[in-house]
């Protein structure tokens, strides 16, 4: 049982889940999450490939999902330090601060996390607009060279900024955003050959290779779930 909704703070999605138990697969999406589970808060960094997990029936979660580039400024940690990791918040923040937030979240984790991100956004001030611009351009199919030109950065500068904001360089982010677009199309019933063309793959075999590389399973299996 899963639900999600947009938070008034731009780039933040609130979600909650009660697990039915068994194995599941978390696909890379360029996002970072702050997750409450069993009285503990942890940060899930940006993934470069699917993350396999297993849960007991009835396991409850609540979280904040930060759009690509939005997490580091709010959580206070560069995304590259969190790549492919799940880390207790107490290892990233002063322990007392993390424990206090986890304790407050015990009765109503969704409400407490929503309040925290509103307050934190006011504390840090306006977000850097560059990550959103870069992610939007890459999602639209722009090349890395085109994005660098549009932002006024050299490609090496762009890579450094992307690693801090997203956890990896622009080419990897582009692959991940393209995968998400392909999944959206396929789950809407678009034939796979058309998915490949619309999502920006060279052909259907290219789509198949990329899905396996990033998700670990064929596209058809992802669509059936």
What pLDDT does residue 121 have? 96
**Cβ–Cβ under 8 Å, residues 24 and 53:** yes
Question: Which portions of the chain are predicted below pLDDT 70?
Answer: 225
What pLDDT does residue 170 have? 96
**Which of the 8 DSSP states describes residue 128?**
P
What pLDDT does residue 98 have? 93
Helices 170-187 and 192-199, packing angle to 10 deg: 140
- List, for residues 172-217, the tens digit of each pLDDT value: 999 999 999 999 999 999 999 999 999 999 999 999 999 999 999 9
The torsion of the CA quartet 31, 36, 75, 177, rounded to 10 degrees, works out to 0
**Which of the 8 DSSP states describes residue 211?**
H
**Which of the 8 DSSP states describes residue 64?**
E
Contacts 24+ apart (CB under 8 A), 99-108: 101/41, 102/36, 102/39, 102/40, 102/41, 105/36, 105/41, 105/62, 106/39
């Amino acid at each position: 049982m899963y639900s999600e909704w947009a938070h008034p703070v731009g780039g933040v999605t609130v979600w909650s889940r009660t697990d039915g138990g068994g194995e599941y697969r978390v696909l890379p999406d360029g996002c970072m999450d702050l997750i409450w589970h069993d009285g503990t808060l942890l940060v899930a960094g940006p993934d470069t490939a699917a993350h396999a997990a297993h849960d007991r029936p009835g396991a409850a979660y609540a979280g904040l999902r930060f759009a690509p580039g939005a997490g580091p400024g709010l959580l206070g940690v560069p995304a590259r330090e969190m790549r492919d990791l799940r880390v207790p918040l107490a290892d990233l923040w002063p322990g007392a601060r993390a424990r206090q937030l986890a304790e407050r979240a015990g009765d109503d984790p969704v409400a407490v996390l929503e309040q925290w991100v509103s307050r934190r956004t006011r504390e840090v001030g306006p977000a850097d607009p560059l990550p959103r611009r870069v992610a939007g351009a890459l999602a639209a199919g722009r090349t890395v060279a085109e994005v660098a030109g549009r932002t006024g950065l050299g490609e090496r500068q762009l890579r450094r900024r992307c690693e801090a904001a997203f956890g990896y360089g622009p080419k990897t982010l582009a692959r991940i955003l393209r995968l998400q677009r392909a999944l959206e199309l396929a789950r809407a019933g678009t034939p796979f050959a058309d998915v490949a063309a619309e999502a920006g793959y060279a052909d259907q075999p290219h789509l198949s290779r990329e899905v396996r590389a990033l998700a670990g399973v064929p596209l058809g299996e992802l669509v059936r779930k």
